[in-house]
Chain A
C-alpha cells in the first residue's frame, strides 16, 4: 500500500510503498530507549519506492551482534523516522509507524524480542483510560 508521513514539525516528509503484512513490533531494549516508550512499531519500505524530503540526523547503532544500523530522526523535533543498513544499497527502510499518516490501517503482525517486553504491555485493557488529559 502507498504510505506517506513525516516528523512532528514537518521538516521531514516521506512516501513509499509498504507491505502491511510486514508491520511489526520490536521489544528490544535499544528500541525502548530510542523511542522513550515501551516498544517500537515499524513497517518496511523498499529503497526503490522510498522518497524523502528534508535531511534527517543519522545515529549509527551497533547491536550486540555487531550489526550496524542507521537510525534516522528529525534534527529539529526528534521524531524517529526510519532505520536502515549503512553503506551501499539495496536498502530497506524500516519506517516508524507513529509517523505514518495511514497508521490507522496498519496493524502489527508480529512481535520480536519479547523476552525484554515490559511486563504490563499485554494488560493495557485493565489500565484506566480517558479521552483527554486526566
Chain B
C-alpha cells in the first residue's frame, strides 16, 4: 500500500510503498528511550520506493546487542522520529519508518512484537487503565 507522512512541524515528509504485513513493534530498551514511550512501531519501506523531502538529523546508534550500527533519523526542528536504516552513502535498501508519523497509522496494525522480554508489563492490559476521550 501507499504510505505517506510528515513530522509534526512539516519540515520532513516521506512517502513510499509498504507491505502492511511488515508492521512490527519493538520493545527493546533503546526504542523505549528513543521514543520516550513504551515501545516503537515501524513499517518496512523498500529503498526503491522511499522518497523524502527535508533533511533529517541522523544519530548513529551503536548499542545493539548484535553490534550492528543503525542510523536513527529524526527531525532536527521538532524532534519527531522518522526512520532507521543501515549506515552508508546514498539510498539504502530498506527504511524502517516510524508508524506514528504516517497518515495511514490507524490502518497499520502490528503483526509482530520483538524484544518482548523488556516490554513494559502494563502494555497488554491497556483496557484496564481509566480513559478520558479528551483531556481532563
Chain A residues proximal to chain B, CB less than 8 Å: 7-9, 25, 28, 30, 32-41, 57, 59, 61, 71, 73, 75-81, 96-99, 103-104, 107-115, 118-122, 124-125, 127-134
B64, chain A: closest CB distance, angstroms = 9
Beyond A80-B79, A128-B111, whether A30 also contacts B129 by CB under 8 A is: no
Give a binary string over B53-73; 1 marks a CB under 8 Å from any A CB, 0 the rest: 000010101010110000010
| Interface contact A112-B38, CB-CB below 8 Å | no
Q: Which of B67-85 contact A (CB under 8 A)?
A: 72, 74, 76-82
Say yes or no: B33 contacts A71, CB within 8 Å. Answer: no
Q: Do B117 and A40 have beta carbons less than 8 Å apart?
A: no
- B1-23 near A? 1/0 per residue, CB < 8 Å: 00000111100000000000000
B57 and A8 contact, CB distance less than 8 A:
no
Which of B38, B61, B72, B126 is A98 in contact with, Cβ under 8 Å?
B38
Asked whether B59 lies within 8 Å of A37 as measured between CB atoms, the reply is no
- A3 CB to nearest chain B CB (Å): 13
Cβ of B49 within 8 Å of any chain A Cβ, yes or no, is no
Q: Which positions in B face A, CB cutoff 8 Å?
A: 6-9, 25, 30-42, 57, 59, 61, 63, 65-66, 72, 74, 76-82, 98-101, 105-106, 109-117, 119-127, 129-136
Task: Specify which chain A residues have a CB less than 8 angstroms from the CB of B82 in the assembled complex.
Answer: 36
Q: Do A57 and B79 contact each other (CB < 8 Å), given the known contacts A40-B36, A127-B112?
A: yes
Identify which of B36, B79, B115, B136 contacts A59 (C-beta below 8 A): B79
Does A111 contact B129, Cβ atoms closer than 8 Å? yes
Given A98-B37, A119-B106, A78-B78 contact (CB < 8 Å): no
Establish whether residues A36 and B33, one from each chain, have CB atoms under 8 Å apart when the complex forms. Answer: no
A118 to nearest B CB, angstroms? 6
The residues of A that contact B136 with a CB separation of less than 8 Å are: 112
Q: Judge whether B135 and A113 touch: CB under 8 Å.
A: yes
Residue of A nearest to B127 (CB): A122
27 CB contacts below 8 A, A to B, read A8-B33, A8-B34, A9-B59, A33-B6, A33-B8, A34-B79, A35-B35, A36-B35, A41-B38, A59-B78, A59-B79, A78-B74, A78-B79, A78-B81, A98-B32, A98-B36, A112-B131, A112-B136, A114-B131, A120-B109, A121-B126, A124-B126, A127-B110, A128-B111, A129-B114, A129-B116, A130-B115
Chain B residue nearest in CB terms to A25:
B129
Give the 8 A-B CB pairs with smallest separation, nearest first: A96-B36, A36-B98, A78-B74, A73-B79, A36-B81, A80-B36, A129-B116, A129-B113
